[in-house]
Amino acid sequence: MENYVGKRLDGRYEIQDVIGVGGMAIVYKAYDNIDDRIVAVKVLKDEYLANEEFRRRFKNESKAIAVLSHPNIVKVFDVSFGDRLQYIVMEYVEGITLKEYIEKCGNIDWNEALFFIIQILRALQHAHDKGIVHRDVKPQNIMLLENGTIKVTDFGIARFSHSETRTVTEKAIGSVHYISPEQAKGELTDEKADIYSVGIVLYEMLTGKLPFDGDSAVAVALMQVNDEATLPRMINPEIPMGFEQITMKAMQKVPRERYQTAAEMLLDLEELKRNPNIKFDYRTYFIDKEPTRPINKIQEKKNITVDYDDFSDTGVRERVSVSAVTDVQNKTARRPAKPRREAPVAQKKSKNGKTVAIVAGIAVALVIFIIVLIVSMLKNGNITLGVGKKIEVDNFIGLNYEELILGNEEYEKKYNFETYYASFSDGEEGCVYDQDPKAGDTIPKGSTIRLYIVKAGEGQVIPDFTEKNYKEACDSLERLGFKVTTVPIESDDLEIGQVVRTEPAANSSVLAGSTVTVYYAADVNSNKLFKMPKLEGKSLDEAKELLKKNGLVLTKIETADSSIEKDYVINQSPADGSPVKEGDSVVLTVSSGCLNAEKLLNLPRAGKITVKVMLDGETTKSEVVDTNNVTSYLVNVSGNQPESKIEVYLNEALYYEATVDFTREPVNFKKEKTNDVAFYVDVIGMEELEAIAALNANGYKNITLKYEVSFEKTGTVIKQSPVYNSAPHLDKTTLIVLTVAKEASAVTTEPSTTPTIIVQ
């Protein structure tokens, strides 16, 4: 493998240093002598130049990023695809990966995680809008800059959503700890696969742990398909309930139950940012807990080649071919995973030479066994080496599964099946009542079709919804497969909108598809119950007029930052369509007409300091921050001008400045500058070495130590000169004298004023 450090590529890019080594490429720091800038050059490894698959993937990355232009995605400046050298020239990003930051912090403060995940989703929303699915979203592919900006990188296995060609390596690809269940099963993926991966990244940020981890790539893949993650708040109770709900919705196993777009998830995150105590009314998906899923002949023949791009600490790719992840899922259904046994730790041998020989012999035997096994599987057709052509899905609804589908040779050649059974009143036992994908959809030959089949049984039990909101009861019943009608009735005991009873009664067993009538409390005689009108999107004046017309009372008006025109309604409570009556209270949220801008600043360690934020010369916030406990500060401002100036002062010294364009979304920071401000540190009470390190970190290295008998803890600083409060911005060359506590027996007979000079 050639090392390009010290060389010049195409007479332009002067390679300076290696900054990263990946599975298929090496990333160098380089100087662009034409545009006079530092860049990152990603060079395809020599051993992969002859591999058409890796060359295709490398070109795909450049194509993917080239069509993207977003502040949270690395930029591509140039590409070269020669026969002997292929490289991509990208924006040089100086920072650490999000994975490194998580490992450093453990779990990240939820406010900080919210700040990061919003940027990640904005980047993915832009990519998805351009028709690009990343397919390898993980903390290792997310760079974190010093100012808190996120940059999404590594589109090496990205796919254009309109692309129709797929290769064997695309069937199940990506880092196994972050891939979606559909990726693990080798199925077609879309934007919702990225949403799942974002959910895993968010889970790891909030808890400091991966939701699924095992001793092999295949074990983790099976967990992604079968297992449920521990709720984040059980690991970190500090997480807001709403944030946990958002995380778990993104991680739903079935794609249609996740957020359908990055924009949809961003809306909930923005709502959480406005109201951290919010609890979302998400649907709970009711599927037969123990569905009968027979293993048929079709499933027994199903094989999937899985290529997990998961790298160990040594940088070695773990490439695993497994037979039917989905097939194993079908056989195990939802049984709890068996506890894995820990491999016994090998005892050290004194005769190292003999041990090495034995291990080498075993390794050679194992390699030979694997080669023989793979050749055998290839001969027997147990390894799939390609994906068939696209076909149109047949209509299975109404067909008897065992009589017309199971064992049908024509269907066996085209599909694999997963079956789910549920009691249902409308439909013949054993017949398909729903399917996914739908009839007429275009899919690759050999894809999996989910069939939902009518089974005999006593049916579903109707829950007791007494005193619950009737709309929530109706939603729950519909999810259980019932048809629902509602009847308002008078009730002296219950509040308006609460369920009085159901018919059939609660706890009755009824076939899915049957009609359930919900009787709820209403002011029937006064005839004043009506649906809340839709006010969102209307001006405040229009909303007030509509409320007055309907006899509703506007009790509170809140303001929130939004790009929507000023004083237009962006949220309402009660929601439109809710049952209300004359005299009910209404709360409206209107747009401020301003966009919000956020910037995470790293703070120097300087004890308690006053942080002041100014926008266009006016103070927007001023507060005291203890930098011994807090290492970063989130600057949050709003505006509507094309070029506003932000200034951040620490103890009245200008620390950070930038200009912001509030007229474009997302808001961009320009002309950023962080000033090198000297911050004298309050070190009284610190240990001697800790105090010296704190002063050194802030540029103060001219330090003298004195020792004095004291009742304070031995080795702690009891005095400092100059006094901290007298000189918050002391010149870095100033001589600093620290007095350290010592026991009487430890003090020498020399005068206490004799200093010990610490040379740093």
Structure tokens at 359: 């291990």
Pairing of strands 585-591, 553-560: parallel
Structure tokens at 108: 């990240």
Structure tokens at 243: 């944030």
Q: Which residues contact 318 (CB under 8 A, 6 or more apart)?
A: 176, 216, 217, 308, 310, 311, 312
Q: Which residues contact 168 (CB under 8 A, 6 or more apart)?
A: 305, 307, 384, 385, 386, 387
Q: Which residues contact 261 (CB under 8 A, 6 or more apart)?
A: 125, 128, 191, 195
Find tokens 């085209």 and name the residue.
Answer: 414
Cα-flanking dihedrals φ and ψ of residue 721, to 5°?
A: -140, 125
Burial label, 564 (beta-carbon count in 10 A; 0-12, 13-18, 19+): middle
Cβ(157)–Cβ(275) below 8 Å? no
* Stretch (H or E) spanning 360: helix 352-380
Q: Is 60 helix (H, G, I), strand (E, B) or coil?
A: helix
For residue 458, CA distances in Å to 87, 288, 398, 442, 724 come to: 64, 13, 21, 37, 78
Strand blocks (E) in 115-160: 132-133, 142-145, 150-152, 159-160
Which residues face 502 on adjacent strands? Answer: 518
Structure tokens at 744: 């009487």
CA-nearest of 725, 755, 724, 760 to 740 is 755
CA-nearest of 582, 583, 647 to 621 is 647
- Active-site residue among 146, 428, 429, 623? 146
Pairing of strands 86-91, 37-44: antiparallel
d(CA 265, CA 254): 16
Which residues face 449 on adjacent strands? Answer: 417
Structure tokens at 187: 């199925």
CA-nearest of 673, 661, 675, 672 to 597 is 661
Q: Which amino acid is at 212?
A: F
Strand blocks (E) in 22-179: 25-32, 37-44, 76-81, 86-91, 95-97, 132-133, 142-145, 150-152, 159-160
d(CA 349, CA 150): 49
CA-nearest of 149, 113, 336, 144 to 236 is 113
CA-nearest of 10, 208, 229 to 102 is 208
Q: Is 217 helix (H, G, I), strand (E, B) or coil?
A: helix
Residues in the chain: 760
187 annotated active-site: no
Q: Within 294-351, where are the H helices?
A: 297-300, 325-332
CA-nearest of 193, 201, 177, 189 to 308 is 177
Structure tokens at 216: 């092999």
Would you give the DSSP letter of residue 526?
T
Cβ(453)–Cβ(398) below 8 Å? no
Instruction: Report how many helices (DSSP H) and strands (DSSP E) the chain contains, helices first.
Output: 16, 39
Please give the positions annotated as active site.
Answer: 146
